[in-house]
Amino acid sequence: AQTVTQSQPEMSVQEAETVTLSCTYDTSESDYYLFWYKQPPSRQMILVIRQEAYKQQNATENRFSVNFQKAAKSFSLKISDSQLGDAAMYFCACRNNAGNMLTFGGGTRLMVKP
């Protein structure tokens, strides 16, 4: 079984500043994947970044990076140089390597102030 917890229902950031969204998870799997998805008002789910648990190096995708702390089961998302288009719901998710199930957290609504 897996659980994913996002403790911040809402976050706010000033345009061009940096913001970090928190995520903790629990899994009994030894090998798994972690994801951050973005859901804009259009409701489309867009993959932002993914991290393989066996990799120690934190994943980065342009302005998006993660802080993966495996021992602490923490997987936070850092957005640098925030843009107005970053405003959306962000979901953290965990998937085990062998199974078909992807477990999502409850989401964090990010607001970007001009």
Partner 1 sequence: NAGVTQTPKFQVLKTGQSMTLQCAQDMNHNSMYWYRQDPGMGLRLIYYSASEGTTDKGEVPNGYNVSRLNKREFSLRLESAAPSQTSVYFCASRSRDRWSGANVLTFGAGSRLTVL
In whole angstroms, what is the distance from residue 56 CA to residue 36 CA? 17
Return the number of the residue (15 or 54) whose C-beta is nearest partner 1: 54
- Judged by CB under 8 A, the number of residues near partner 1 is 23
Q: Considering the complex, what minimum distance in angstroms separates the CB of residue 101 from partner 1?
A: 6
HSE of 54 in the Cβ direction (CA atoms, 13 Å)? 6
Binding mask 35-64 for partner 1 (x = CB under 8 A): x------xxxx-x--x-x------------
Residues that bind partner 1 (CB under 8 A): 4, 6, 9, 33, 35, 42-45, 47, 50, 52, 91, 93, 95, 100-107
